[in-house]
Chains A and B, each alone.
Chain A
Amino acid sequence: MPDLSDDDLVRLCREGSDEAFAELVGRYRRLVFGIISRTVGDPGRAEDLAQDVFLRMHRGLPYYRGTARMSTWIYRIAVNVCLQDRSAPKRIEIAIDADAATDRPLLQLGSKDAAFGTIELRDRLGKALARLPGKYRALIAAHYLKGVQYEELAEAFQLPLGTVKTHLYRARRELRKLLEGELA
Chain B
Amino acid sequence: MVCTHLDELIEPIAVGDVVPDADARAHLASCAACAHALELARQIDGVLAAQPVPDVGPAFTSRLMVRLRRERWRSEQYLDVAFNIAVALAVVTTVGGLVMVLAASGLTTVSPDLTGLFVSGAAEVLSAVTPALPVYGVAAAVFVSGMAIWWWAERGFEI
Contact = CB atoms under 8 A, between A and B. Distances in A.
A125 B47 contact: yes
A81 interface: no
B51 A21 contact: no
A165 interface: yes
A122 B12 CA distance: 21
Interface stretch (A48-56, A62-70, A72-80): A48-56
Interface of B: 7, 10-12, 14-15, 17, 37, 39-56, 58, 60-61, 63-65, 67-69, 71
A26 B58 contact: yes
A29 interface: yes
- Per DSSP, are chain A's interface residues mostly helix, strand or loop, or mixed? helix
Contact of A34 (B40, B41, B53, B63): B53
A172 B51 contact: no
- Give the interface size class of chain A: 35 or more
Contact of B51 (A18, A55, A144): A144
Contact of B61 (A29, A43, A121, A168): A29
A96 B60 contact: no
Given A47-B60, A58-B68, A169-B12, 5 more contacts: A21-B65, A22-B61, A38-B54, A105-B46, A165-B17
